[in-house]
Amino acid sequence: MDRTPSTGHREALRRLRRVMAGSGSAQNRLDEIVKVVAAEMAAEVCSIYVLRAGDVLELFATEGLKREAVHVTRLQIGEGLVGTIAATTQRLNLSDAQEHPSFSYRPETGEEVYSSLLGVPVLRGGRPRGVLVIQNREKREYSEEEAEALEIISVVIAELIAASDLLGPDERLHARDSRLLGPERMPGTMVNEGLAVGQAVLHTPGVSIRQIFADDIDAEHDRLRDAMSAMHAAIDVLLSTTDLRESGEHREVLNSYRRFAEDRGWLRRIREGIDSGLTADAAVQQVREDTAARMRGVGDPYIRGRLSDLEDIATRLMTHLGGGVSMQHLPEDIVLIARNPGPAEMLDYDTSRIRALVTEEGGPTSHVSIVARALGIPIVAKVDGLMRNVDPGDPVIVDGDNGQIFVRPSDDIQSMITETLGAREQRRSMYASMHALKTVTRDGVPISLSINCGMLADMQWLEETGADGVGLFRTEIPFMVRSTFPDLEQQTAIYRAVLSQADGKPVHFRTLDIGGDKQLPYLKESDDQNPALGWRSIRVGLDRPGMLRQQLRAMLHAGSGRELYVMFPMIAEVAEFRSALAILKKERERLDRNGGNAPTELRVGAMLEVPGLIWQLEALLPHLDFLSIGSNDLFQFLFAIDRGNPRVAGRYDVLAPSLLSVVREIVRKCNKANVPVSLCGEMAGHPLEAMALLGVGMTSLSVSPSQFGPVKAMTLTADIGALQAYMDELLASPDHSLRRKLRAYAMDHGVVLES
Ligand code: PEP
Ligand code: MG
């Protein structure tokens, strides 16, 4: 054959089109397809394996291998080269296949004489449906064009498998292990708490392609162009709407995402697919499946994120081409099941119907998690095998609290969860009814309860909970979801929007707390040996004063005409606070000089997270308007325990007498100096821990919004005088933890502890 591969596959597609248009059973067509592909791609062997129930790949058709192997040779997913291609959804291109460690010899096929092998997965909706393989005797490496050609042809086979009678209806639905159709608990990673029940809606399910082969190639190019502009226009509309999507984070995410749509390599490959005879839909589908498959092989989270965005765009593009996911006939209670959806995709659904989000990949900082968290739904990520094991319409329970889901749950689990949900609902209405109550303890001590926020969308909770303010606004979150550093205007807009939503309630803006476990995608990752103790937080701010200055300037602009609270994180000594304060003062002076409208009141505080500062607190307090204890880091440093390391998590307890004694000491010093002190670490959000904090003298806590109700209920039922007397005695105890004693105390004294 002297044909070049690219003209070869174009010709192959032309001939395949005739095969598909002709009559005959699906089996006949597969038999024809392997002949055409072998001939047109100059291969001595072409074989098609189809995935059957039980995760078995069966040889359905071959040209070149022994005919008696058809419907006899079977491999498990993951077994042999064919099984590996299906398991990894990656192509294999081998000049000496038998040397490959996964090669599994099947004597009935007679394949021992063939050295080279090129195999691609046959994918549909991100799932393997089969494998297409060509082989040659000579040891040769197949070209990229040949591999792409085979991938294009695999689209035809995927459609044939999906639409035909090759497999019985049950098998077609569940071309996977039938054992998995029973109830199943699938563990994952908790991203957002909560419990939800609903029906699975598979995001990017088998997207339907109405026609594979183009009747008119020019017309298909036109359709692609039209769909691209329609998609861009739709994204523009999304960007300009004014509700939830208006918030800075979503806008930026969507903007960066739109830029990826202009990725040239990606478009080129779609156009090539059309040139070779596919319709625009089929060409986009092919590139989409390929992007999804490539993503699995990439370790770098940044590149994976970009690939995921490209896959997301391809799905949207298909919708604009007239195929795509139908948004009609979706259940009222959607549990969205997705591999790694793009952030905008969540907003395509009627978000009021989405009860939970479950992803196979992703994680707490993935863009979509941030958008979903703003919607206040439970999220579980990193669920292995999710897309393979959940079918559309499956009942799913999402247990965000414990990072797990139950698919097709048994009646027992269902009724247990329904009861829990009922109880939570009752509690929620109880918390709602407390909204108007003043937060005072049973013995009349007023307690200030605020919430922690990190996004504009979180600000809605201020009104909903009736909190006194925002005790901690983590400004790094808006920085983390962007693809570039936000400039002065963008930062000012974020802070201004936050303040206007706060409607006069105080918002404690914490300056950038990056480094450690919080990396910005556009800032070179630090190679610190020990990031928690490394170049992070205020250390970055003081070493990069330009960055800090810009942030403070944005805060001052946003706070014009209002009260502005600024706090510096991870202060370890007085000198650090004074340096940060000096920068703020300079900015304030600059604003005054330029005749800018300054905040009516500027209050400046520090976070106490580094133990060393406790012994310099008396010297620091005269400089402070307030102090905020960051117990997450303080606990980590006091006990020398990495807060992100699961091997040591649980080794020590925040209710250790030592930590509580430290808090009592800090409170005493602050009270003496008349400086308000608050605590905003996670422990404040757990009712028992919060009770202990009141017991050592704290009167101001800031908690995550979902924990506001439980902490308020505890506060209303606790008698602080009695509790403090009890705890004073307890703190001298040699116990590992005071948890048991404090819980017993709460029970004996009618303190409500429910979360
Ligand atoms: C803390 O350390 O307690 C704190 C509130 O800061 P972050 O959790 O953001 O480090
Ligand atoms: Mg901290």
Instruction: Summarize pLDDT for 73-93 with one digit per residue, the tens.
Output: 999 988 999 999 998 888 999
pLDDT of residue 749: 96
Yes or no: say if 514 and 526 are a contact pair by the CB < 8 Å rule.
Answer: no
Q: Whose CA is nearest to atom 1 of ligand 1?
A: 630
The alpha carbon of 523 and the centre of ligand 2 are apart by a number of angstroms equal to: 20
Q: Mean pLDDT across the stretch 123-143?
A: 88
**Position in ligand 1 atom list of the atom nearest CA 513:** 9
Residue whose entry in the numeric block shows the structure tokens 């950038």: 512
Is pLDDT of 178 > 50? no
The alpha carbon of 609 and the centre of ligand 2 are apart by a number of angstroms equal to: 6
pLDDT of residue 176: 41
Yes or no: say if 279 and 220 are a contact pair by the CB < 8 Å rule.
Answer: yes
Strands 184-187 and 404-407: antiparallel
For the stretch 180-198, pLDDT in tens is 345 678 998 888 888 899 9
The alpha carbon of 301 and the centre of ligand 2 are apart by a number of angstroms equal to: 24
- H/E stretch holding 668 reads helix 657-673
| C-alpha separations of 606 from 60, 213, 585 in Å | 69, 65, 15
Q: Which ligand is nearest to the CA of 628?
A: 1
- Three-state secondary structure call for residue 707: helix
Pocket of ligand 1 contains residue 208 by CB under 6 Å: no
**Position in ligand 1 atom list of the atom nearest CA 476:** 9
Pocket of ligand 1 contains residue 314 by CB under 6 Å: no
The alpha carbon of 717 and the centre of ligand 2 are apart by a number of angstroms equal to: 30
Q: Mean pLDDT across the stretch 304-329?
A: 67
Q: Which ligand is nearest to the CA of 472?
A: 1
> For the residues of 530-562, what is the DSSP string, one character each?
SGGGSS-THHHHHHSHHHHHHHHHHHHHHTTTS
Pocket of ligand 1 contains residue 467 by CB under 6 Å: no
The one-letter amino acid code at 57 reads L
**Position in ligand 1 atom list of the atom nearest CA 474:** 9
- From 607, 608, 689, 698, give the residue whose CB has the most ligand 1 atoms within 8 Å, as the site to mutate: 607
Which residues are tagged catalytic?
Answer: 367, 680
The one-letter amino acid code at 698 reads M
**Position in ligand 1 atom list of the atom nearest CA 681:** 3
Pocket of ligand 1 contains residue 630 by CB under 6 Å: yes
pLDDT of residue 43: 95
Pocket of ligand 1 contains residue 632 by CB under 6 Å: yes
Ranges 54-68, 476-490, 515-529: which has the least confidence: 515-529
Q: E-assigned strands of 354-465?
A: 354-359, 379-381, 395-399, 404-407, 448-453
Yes or no: say if 542 and 549 are a contact pair by the CB < 8 Å rule.
Answer: no
* Predicted confidence band of residue 454 (pLDDT cuts 50, 70, 90): confident
The alpha carbon of 524 and the centre of ligand 1 are apart by a number of angstroms equal to: 22
Mean pLDDT of the residues in the chain? 85
The alpha carbon of 734 and the centre of ligand 2 are apart by a number of angstroms equal to: 28
Is pLDDT of 204 > 90? no
Instruction: Measure CA of the first residue to CA of the last residue in the chain; give whole Å.
Output: 72
Is pLDDT of 737 > 70? yes
* Predicted confidence band of residue 579 (pLDDT cuts 50, 70, 90): very high
Is pLDDT of 496 > 60? yes
**Position in ligand 1 atom list of the atom nearest CA 472:** 5
Ranges 167-181, 260-274, 577-591, 731-745: which has the least confidence: 167-181
Pocket of ligand 1 contains residue 486 by CB under 6 Å: no
Is pLDDT of 263 > 70? no
* Predicted confidence band of residue 138 (pLDDT cuts 50, 70, 90): very high
pLDDT of residue 491: 94
* Predicted confidence band of residue 168 (pLDDT cuts 50, 70, 90): low
pLDDT of residue 297: 63
pLDDT of residue 540: 94
Nearest to 325 by CA among 227, 421, 405, 209: 209
For the stretch 499-535, pLDDT in tens is 999 999 999 999 999 887 677 766 776 678 888 899 9
Is pLDDT of 254 > 90? no
For the stretch 275-308, pLDDT in tens is 888 889 888 888 887 777 766 666 666 666 666 6
Please enumerate in sequence order all residues whose Cβ is within 8 A of that of 138, keeping only pairs 6 or more positions apart, or say none. 115, 116
For the stretch 368-391, pLDDT in tens is 666 676 677 899 988 988 887 887
Pocket of ligand 1 contains residue 476 by CB under 6 Å: no
Query: Which of left, alpha, beta for 597 (phi over 0: left; psi -120 to 50: alpha)?
Result: beta
* Predicted confidence band of residue 238 (pLDDT cuts 50, 70, 90): low
The alpha carbon of 634 and the centre of ligand 2 are apart by a number of angstroms equal to: 8
| Dist CA 177 CA 53 (whole Å) | 5
Pocket of ligand 1 contains residue 685 by CB under 6 Å: no
* Predicted confidence band of residue 427 (pLDDT cuts 50, 70, 90): confident
In this predicted model, which residue has the larger pLDDT, 282 or 626?
626
Pocket of ligand 1 contains residue 252 by CB under 6 Å: no
- From 451, 452, 474, give the residue whose CB has the most ligand 1 atoms within 8 Å, as the site to mutate: 474
Q: Could you tell me what percent of the chain has a pLDDT over 70? A: 83
Identify how many contiguous H helices and E strands the chain contains and give both numbers: 27, 22
For the stretch 608-618, pLDDT in tens is 999 999 999 99
Chain centroid to Cα 653, Å, comes to 29
pLDDT of residue 89: 85
The alpha carbon of 633 and the centre of ligand 1 are apart by a number of angstroms equal to: 6
**Position in ligand 1 atom list of the atom nearest CA 682:** 3
Q: Could you tell me what percent of the chain has a pLDDT over 90? A: 49
pLDDT of residue 2: 40
Pocket of ligand 1 contains residue 629 by CB under 6 Å: no
Pocket of ligand 1 contains residue 631 by CB under 6 Å: yes
